[in-house]
Amino acid sequence: MIPGGGQPDMQQLLQQAQKMQQDLAAAQQELAETSVEGSAGGGLVKATVNGSGELQGLVIDPKAVDPEDTETLADMVLAAVRDANGAAAELQQQKLGPLAQGMGGMPGLPF
């Protein structure tokens, strides 16, 4: 029988929620500090984003620059950024996925 007439121990639930909140904040901080890279055009354009998907850097090989064809360069930049953001999304799933699943069993939380 659960003490308190069948109600869960609120102090224990509060402690669990606080621990998960701390774990989530730590994972988010780690994501913000972790860089991932994406590339396009066989490596001619490379984009670096942090684990949150924020663009941190862009490297364009001079071979990719053709003043007569800036459209291709723009396409490669977009592709490299999308590739990097895909890697960031995978990293987010690895870091935050288990935490979100752990919170799913707690009443009142939107996971």
Instruction: Assign residue 43 a region (left: φ > 0; alpha: ψ between -120 and 50; beta: otherwise).
Output: left
Task: Please tell me whether the overall predicted TM-score, pTM, comes out greater than 0.75 for this model.
Answer: no
Whether residue 52 lies inside any domain: the answer is yes
pLDDT at 51: 86
pLDDT at 106: 47
Whether residue 84 lies inside any domain: the answer is yes
Provide the token pair at 93.
Answer: 């799933």
**Distance between CA 89 and CA 77 in Å, rounded?**
18
Q: Which domain holds residue 69?
A: 32-89
85: CB partners within 8 A, 6+ apart: 38, 49, 53
Domain count, the chain: 1
Q: List the chain residues with pLDDT less than 70.
A: 1-8, 100-111
pLDDT at 12: 87
Give the CATH number, domain containing residue 80: 3.30.1310.10
